[in-house]
């Protein structure tokens, strides 16, 4: 494996196979330090917008993959797709069950960077259409060696055979903790011939496009077979989501005129070093409303025209001034795929009484949060959690019929809580 940078992208490890010396995980991951700023999103309308979820309707799939390879020259890369079950394990389906073509696709579109500290090649790939609404793992690899993995990325394709609608009538503030949010919804499956919905239907709910705190096997509260309806009412706090807080953010879309929450920049050597303004705990603070990206990021270079190939890479240092916590502090966001891994852990500096982490990031606007992993406290110990927080949720309904013997994504419904 090439190694020009010591900072690897941390990611969540789920089920896996061993391919040579690289371990394929059925999650969002980069397997080489040089593979950076991976984005997989719906290219609806032909526009570039990685804020869109990698969930598309089967009639209009149009998924786009983009990533940077931190080297000066182009390489030959390929993509394959893996069909997955609802739990993101590999399904038993053959490639021809879900694809019309041979399962190896070359990445042919690319641009070379210009006016940057670290040269890179920016790759584009239009994901091929699939035949079944399901979970999929996209895997990119080098040359014709499927074991030499570059990255893996999850995406979902859905149909509208099940109808999902929000049930606000069943929700009351009396059932909620002041730091929680609750989603009550109903699923109508009259267009599906379901015999045993408790066993064959699975509901998944995720918050802000993240998998680290998703509810993966939500059971219905009531089954009304005469109406072909499933009701999901989460009066138990274990099934509610902690709302969290609006995300912290830093704006370094311009390195000549840095934006909000940037501290200082050291331009004495390249790549530049940038320090985010020192953060402090918000646990005891009142809720403050402002717009954020729900933990996501956008790459943009306001100093030059084309952010995709002129955006510079910068070493960005995040600092949290707080006494040591009883647990491990993580820096989380879409920038590192919400990974609770070794690479996303923050180091405590006793001499300054701060947690610190330095990450190599492409110019842009980034959301992030500090997460405490501990048996004694919730993860929002530093950020605070308020039911007024604006969050985006997604409800995914899976059904496993007898044929094909695989989990099909038959319903999808996005919900904005406290929209601005």
Query: pLDDT tens string for the chain (420 positions)?
Result: 454 444 433 333 333 444 447 899 999 999 999 999 999 999 876 667 888 899 999 999 999 999 999 999 999 999 999 999 999 999 999 999 999 999 999 999 999 999 899 999 999 999 999 999 999 999 999 997 999 999 999 999 999 999 999 987 545 444 456 889 988 999 999 999 998 999 999 999 999 999 999 999 899 999 999 999 999 987 666 678 999 999 999 999 999 999 999 999 999 999 999 999 999 999 999 999 999 999 999 999 998 876 678 999 999 999 999 999 999 999 999 999 999 999 999 999 999 999 999 999 999 999 999 999 988 778 999 999 999 999 999 999 999 998 898 999 999 999 999 998
Q: Which residues contact 377 (CB under 8 A, 6 or more apart)?
A: 325, 326, 327
- Measured CA to CA, the distance from residue 55 to residue 110 in angstroms comes to 24
**What pLDDT is stored for residue 44 in this prediction?**
74
- Measured CA to CA, the distance from residue 71 to residue 48 in angstroms comes to 23
Sign of CA dihedral 290, 294, 296, 298: negative
Q: Domain ranges for the chain, please list them.
A: 16-158, 163-241+400-417, 248-373
**What pLDDT is stored for residue 250 in this prediction?**
98
Backbone angles phi, psi at 237, to 5 degrees: -65, -20
H helix runs in 118-236, sequence order:
197-200
Outline where DSSP puts E strands in 159-271.
163-166, 180-181, 185-188, 201-207, 215-218, 222-224, 229-232, 241-242, 248-251, 262-266
16-158 CATH pick, 3.30.1150, 1.10.10, 3.90.930, 2.60.40: 2.60.40
**Residue-wise burial string across 65-80, b where 16 or more C-beta atoms lie within 10 A, e elsewhere:** bbbbbbeeeeeebbbb
**What pLDDT is stored for residue 172 in this prediction?**
45
- Tell me how many degrees the CA angle 113-115-118 measures, rounded to the nearest 5: 65
Q: What architecture does CATH give domain 248-373?
A: Sandwich (2.60)
| Secondary structure (DSSP) of 385-404 | --TT--EEEEEEEEE--SSS
């Amino acid at each position: 494996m090439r190694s020009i940078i010591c900072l690897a992208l941390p990611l969540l490890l789920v089920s896996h196979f061993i391919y040579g010396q690289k371990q394929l995980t059925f999650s969002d991951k980069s397997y080489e330090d040089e593979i950076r700023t991976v984005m997989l999103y719906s290219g609806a309308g032909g526009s570039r917008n990685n804020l869109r979820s990698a969930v598309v309707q089967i009639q209009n799939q149009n998924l786009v993959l983009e990533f940077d390879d931190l080297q000066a020259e182009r390489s030959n890369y390929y993509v394959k797709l893996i069909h997955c079950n609802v739990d993101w394990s590999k399904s038993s389906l053959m490639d021809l069950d879900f694809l019309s073509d041979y399962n190896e696709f070359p990445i042919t579109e690319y641009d070379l960077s210009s006016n940057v500290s670290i040269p890179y090649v920016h790759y584009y790939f239009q994901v091929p259409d699939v035949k079944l609404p399901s979970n999929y793992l996209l895997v990119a690899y080098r040359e014709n060696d499927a074991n030499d993995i570059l990255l893996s990325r999850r995406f979902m394709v859905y149909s509208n055979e099940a109808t999902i609608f929000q049930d606000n009538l069943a929700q009351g503030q009396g059932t909620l903790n002041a730091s929680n949010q609750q989603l009550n919804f109903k699923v109508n499956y009259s267009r599906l011939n379901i015999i045993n919905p408790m066993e064959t239907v699975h509901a998944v709910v995720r918050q802000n496009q993240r998998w680290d705190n998703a509810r993966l096997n939500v059971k219905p509260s009531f089954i009304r077979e005469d109406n072909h309806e499933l009701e999901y009412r989460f009066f138990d706090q274990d099934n509610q989501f902690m709302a969290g807080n609006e995300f912290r953010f830093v704006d370094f879309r311009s390195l000549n005129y840095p934006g909000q929450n940037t501290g200082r920049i050291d331009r004495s050597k390249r790549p530049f070093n940038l320090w985010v303004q020192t953060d402090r705990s918000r646990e005891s603070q009142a809720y403050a409303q402002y717009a954020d990206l729900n933990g996501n990021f956008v790459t943009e270079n306001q100093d030059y025209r084309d952010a995709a190939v002129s955006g510079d890479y910068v070493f960005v240092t995040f600092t949290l001034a707080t006494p040591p916590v009883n647990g491990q502090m993580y820096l989380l966001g879409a920038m590192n795929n919400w990974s609770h891994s070794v690479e996303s852990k923050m180091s405590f500096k006793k001499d300054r009484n701060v947690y610190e982490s330095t990450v190599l990031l492409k110019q842009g606007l980034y959301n992030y949060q500090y997460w405490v992993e501990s048996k004694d406290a919730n993860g929002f110990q530093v950020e605070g959690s308020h039911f007024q927080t604006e969050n985006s949720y997604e409800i995914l309904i899976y059904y496993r019929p007898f044929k094909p013997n695989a989990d099909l994504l038959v319903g999808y419904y996005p919900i904005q809580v406290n929209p601005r």
